């Protein structure tokens, strides 16, 4: 029983699920500065990431290469988000 529990904790720690969720949300159009985004755009982001991951699996990319590609896609999405939705007076007051 202890071996199974330890294995489960190791799988959660090494998982990239949180990374994938952040990537889906950002690609779905939810702005990191707040105040923008909706459920339908997140669903579209989920479909986009699903196609990307499926394509990389079909191309038989190793896990490290997939993580690099996902990181580059996330970085591009964050840069586009910061360009298209700069932090302004309105979004800075939303956190107060």
pLDDT of the residue at 54: 92
Q: pLDDT tier at 9 (50, 70, 90 boundaries)? A: low
Whole-number pLDDT of residue 72: 92
H helices of 1-96, in order, are 2-14, 17-27, 39-58, 63-84, 89-93
Q: What are the tens digits of pLDDT across the range 29-82?
A: 777 666 667 788 888 888 888 898 899 999 999 888 988 998 898 888 888 877
The DSSP string of 31-54 is -TTSS---HHHHHHHHHHHHHHHH
């Amino acid at each position: 029983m202890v071996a199974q529990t330890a294995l489960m904790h190791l799988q959660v720690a090494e998982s990239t699920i949180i990374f994938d969720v952040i990537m889906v949300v950002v690609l779905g159009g939810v702005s990191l500065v707040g105040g923008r985004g909706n459920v339908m755009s997140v669903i579209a982001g989920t479909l986009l990431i699903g196609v990307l991951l499926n394509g990389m699996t079909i191309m038989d990319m190793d896990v490290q290469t997939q993580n690099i590609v996902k990181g580059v896609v996330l970085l591009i999405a964050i840069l586009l988000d910061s360009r298209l939705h700069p932090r302004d007076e309105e979004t800075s007051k939303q956190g107060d």
